[in-house]
């Protein structure tokens, strides 16, 4: 399978890293980069193939578009000249299926929103397929994207908020990690140990929540003993608007 990329900035490079990390041969990844040296620098690290023109992706099985939205029209004007059998998946903001099919009518186009943990195979990508996608083409997309984490089909009108929750929250979680580690340090834990404890706690808590059949609140209930330290912490979080801060953060990110 040959995978083409147009654009290898923050999210494109994260996806390429994830694919190579999953065992895809770098020779099977063809990348058309932008104007800067960024793609060449990345190639030194990852050894994929760089192509000079978009048309050089004509023999790939799937083309992933990861350019900024301002470049989309130019990219599709070039794609429409040669695309026949390739599946097109765009992760660029504004790539609605209607937009893509205005250049490639009735073609198997999909709009996807990945997040940066795709670089280590732990991402989550929401995807909406054009109705023209057949099962074989969906399998091809799954084969590529499930190497980078979870792939979830989402109605197109929900992709925006999906992307906000899955794509912006890693930054919020980074702040959470830093703040909890600061609190550990404030109370005497060495910095490195504090980060180690917090990060592993988050991994474990997330896996437990994922594997648990019940509501996450039950997990919280199980560790809050009457009058104990954890419920005192929960009360302090409520007093300081923890839930509200997170809801407001997602709203602010989503409704900009
Ligand atoms: N970052 C994320 O976590 C994330 C997640 C999901 C979706 N997205 C969406 O994905 C898109 C890209 O985001 P990003 O954060 O990766 O932006 P970015 O870091 O600016 O990367 C965009 C890349 O596209 C390249 N490019 C521009 N025009 C091109 C062209 N005609 N042909 C080939 N390459 C071209 C640029 O190359 P040069 O700089 O070399 O010119 C740049 O490396 C955006 O629409 C964003 O909304 C981002």
Pick from 127, 125, 129, 101: nearest CA to 114: 125
**Distance (Å) from CA 95 to ligand 1 centroid:** 13
167 lines ligand 1 (CB under 6 A): yes
Last residue of a domain, one of 108, 131, 154: 154
CA of 205 to the centre of ligand 1 (A): 33
Last residue of some domain: 112, 132, 154?
A: 154
The rounded Å distance from CA 13 to ligand 1 centre is 9
- Rounded percentage of the chain residues whose pLDDT exceeds 90: 98
Say if residue 52 is in the same domain as residue 176.
no
- Pairing mode, if any, of strands 149-153 and 123-129? parallel
> Measured from the CB, is residue 34 less than 6 Å from ligand 1?
yes
- Average model confidence (pLDDT) for the chain? 97
Domain count, the chain: 2
- Indicate whether residue 77 lines ligand 1 (CB < 6 A): no
Q: How confident is the model at residue 77 (pLDDT cuts 50, 70, 90)?
A: very high
pLDDT in tens, 35-64: 999 999 999 999 999 999 999 999 999 999
What is the number of the ligand 1 atom nearest to the C-alpha of 69?
45
Ligand 1 atom 36: residue of nearest CA: 34
Q: Which atom of ligand 1 is nearest to the CA of 92?
A: 45
Distance 214 CA to ligand 1 centre (A): 39
Alpha-carbon span 35 to 241, nearest angstrom: 45
CB 63 less than 6 A from any atom of ligand 1:
no
pLDDT tens per residue across span 166-198? 999 999 999 999 999 999 999 999 999 999 999
- Shared domain for 31 and 125, answered yes or no, is yes
Of 67, 72, 112, 172, which is best to mutate to test ligand 1, by the most ligand atoms within 8 angstroms of its C-beta?
67
67, 145: one domain: yes
- What pLDDT does 3 receive? 98
**What is the model's pLDDT at position 241?**
98
80 Cα–ligand 1 center, Å: 20
Taking alpha carbons only, the member of 95, 108, 97, 6 closest to residue 57 is 6
The atom of ligand 1 lying closest to the CA of 71 is 28
247: domain range?
163-254
CATH code of the domain in which 57 resides: 3.40.50.720
Closest CA to 117 of 150, 153, 88: 150
Q: Which of 111, 135, 154 is the last residue of a domain?
A: 154
| Residues 6+ positions from 142 with CB-CB distance below 8 Å | 151
Task: Please tell me the residue having the least CA distance from ligand 1 atom 38.
Answer: 34
pLDDT on residue 202: 97
Average of pLDDT values for 189-211?
Answer: 97
Task: Lay out the sheet containing 109-113: strands in order across.
Answer: 49-50, 29-32, 3-6, 62-65, 87-90, 109-113, 123-129, 149-153
Residue 9 CB less than 6 A away from ligand 1: yes
Using CB atoms within 10 Å of the CB of residue 77, give its burial: 0 to 12 exposed, 13 to 18 middle, 19+ buried: exposed
CATH for 245: 1.10.3730.10
Q: How far is the CA of 244 from the centre of ligand 1 (A)?
A: 32
Q: Are residues 137 and 235 in the same domain?
A: no
Q: What is the pLDDT of residues 225-253, one digit of tens each?
A: 999 999 999 999 999 999 999 999 999 99
Residues 125 and 14 reside in one and the same domain:
yes
Q: With bands split at pLDDT 50, 70 and 90, how would you rate the model's confidence at 102?
A: very high
6 lines ligand 1 (CB under 6 A): yes
Task: Give the C-alpha separation, 109 to 95, whole Å.
Answer: 10
pLDDT of residue 256: 77
């Amino acid at each position: 399978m040959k995978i083409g990329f147009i654009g290898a900035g923050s999210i494109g490079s994260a996806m390429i890293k994830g694919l190579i990390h999953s065992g895809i041969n770098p020779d099977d990844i063809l990348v058309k980069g932008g104007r800067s040296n960024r793609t060449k620098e990345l190639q030194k690290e990852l050894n994929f193939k760089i192509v000079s023109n978009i048309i050089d992706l004509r023999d790939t099985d799937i083309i992933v578009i990861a350019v900024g939205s301002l470049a989309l029209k130019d990219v599709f004007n070039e794609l429409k000249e040669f695309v026949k059998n390739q599946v097109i998946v765009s992760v660029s903001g504004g790539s609605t299926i209607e937009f893509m099919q205005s250049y490639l009518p009735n073609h198997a186009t999909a709009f996807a929103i990945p997040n940066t943990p795709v670089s280590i195979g732990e991402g989550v990508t929401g995807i909406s397929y054009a109705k023209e996608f057949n099962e074989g083409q969906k399998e091809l997309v799954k084969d590529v994207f499930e190497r980078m984490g979870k792939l979830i089909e989402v109605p197109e009108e929900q992709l925006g908020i999906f992307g906000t929750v899955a794509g912006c929250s890693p930054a919020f979680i980074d702040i959470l990690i830093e703040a909890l580690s600061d609190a550990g340090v404030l109370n005497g834990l060495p910095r490195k140990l504090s980060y180690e404890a917090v990060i592993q706690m988050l991994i474990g808590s997330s896996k437990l929540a994922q594997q648990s059949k019940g509501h996450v609140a039950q997990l919280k209930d199980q560790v809050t003993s009457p009058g104990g330290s954890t419920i005192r912490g929960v009360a302090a979080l409520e007093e300081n608007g923890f839930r509200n801060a997170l809801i407001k953060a997602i709203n602010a990110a989503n409704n900009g």
